[in-house]
Homo-oligomer: A and B are copies of this chain.
């Protein structure tokens, strides 16, 4: 029996948003690999899973991914994490790397999976609920309806970039949007986009959760997402 690597998305915060498959794989794991931004740091993903998975008796393996704009630092983190994982796979362990949200969207998992797969080990990725899906569901809005289009963009720098995207798309998800909140409010006023067409998602399913209208007076953390809807969806006009 050879080892196997799983990359598992654990959803944005509510442990109830773990999939049945993710729970089962975590329960069967020998090693749970936990990405952190610096050594010894608490992991949100781990706090989520320990509410529904018994982790007693499993090795908890810390893997450090420094927050950096330098891709070479990031690559060496990924390599180091992959080496730690590989050492366990050699011993025929079942290793599960957990990641917040969905494993296919801006996740550290993919890098480790690519390295480990390239070494010939079996790997499997288990999708998770993304923060924007969970946030939209909480807010009671659709990310896209009917023939609408949807754009997901990380860290827009200015209103011109947003303007270009909004010209082409009906719905826009702005990731890491904390620094954009101020100019976004101004932009919506100028373009006469109703305030209710934007929903801010912050810490979905976690302590300090905020899901609500754009409020320039609030402070927002790094993982802030804003959904901007150009239209108002299919049925609302008729209801009003």
Against B, the Cβ 8 Å flags (1 = close, 0 = not) of A108-120 are: 0011011101100
Determine, out of A128-136, A182-190, A218-226, the stretch whose residues face the partner at the interface: A128-136
Task: Evaluate contact between B152 and A235: CB separation under 8 angstroms.
Answer: no
| Chain B residues positioned under 8 Å from A146 (CB to CB) | 71, 106
| Chain B residues positioned under 8 Å from A16 (CB to CB) | 19-21, 24
A136 nearest in chain B by CB position: B104
A80 CB to closest chain B CB (Å) equals: 13
A238 nearest in chain B by CB position: B75
Q: Is A57 interfacial (CB 8 A cutoff)?
A: no
Task: Evaluate contact between A144 and B152: CB separation under 8 angstroms.
Answer: yes
Return the contact of A154 from the options B14, B147, B155 (Cβ within 8 A).
B147
A157 CB to closest chain B CB (Å) equals: 11
Which label, helix, strand, loop or mixed, suits the secondary structure of the A interface?
mixed
Against B, the Cβ 8 Å flags (1 = close, 0 = not) of A82-122 are: 00000000000000000000111111001101110110000
Against B, the Cβ 8 Å flags (1 = close, 0 = not) of A124-155 are: 01111110011011101111111111111111
| Contact surface of A with B, Cβ cutoff 8 Å | 11, 14-21, 23-24, 52, 71, 74-75, 78, 102-107, 110-111, 113-115, 117-118, 123, 125-130, 133-134, 136-138, 140-155, 164-165, 168-169, 233-236, 238-239
| Chain B residues positioned under 8 Å from A117 (CB to CB) | 140
Return the contact of A165 from the options B107, B125, B168, B238 (Cβ within 8 A).
B168
Task: Evaluate contact between A17 and B23: CB separation under 8 angstroms.
Answer: no
- In whole angstroms, what is the CA distance A138 to B235 when docked? 35
Q: A75-B235, A110-B145 are in contact. Are A19 and B11 (CB under 8 A)?
A: yes
Return the contact of A17 from the options B21, B114, B136, B235 (Cβ within 8 A).
B21
- In whole angstroms, what is the CA distance A235 to B117 when docked? 13
29 A-B pairs within 8 Å (CB atoms) are namely A11-B19, A16-B21, A17-B21, A19-B19, A19-B129, A20-B20, A71-B234, A75-B238, A104-B133, A104-B136, A104-B137, A104-B142, A105-B133, A105-B143, A106-B145, A114-B233, A114-B235, A114-B239, A125-B138, A125-B140, A127-B129, A127-B133, A127-B137, A129-B129, A130-B133, A149-B153, A149-B154, A151-B152, A168-B168
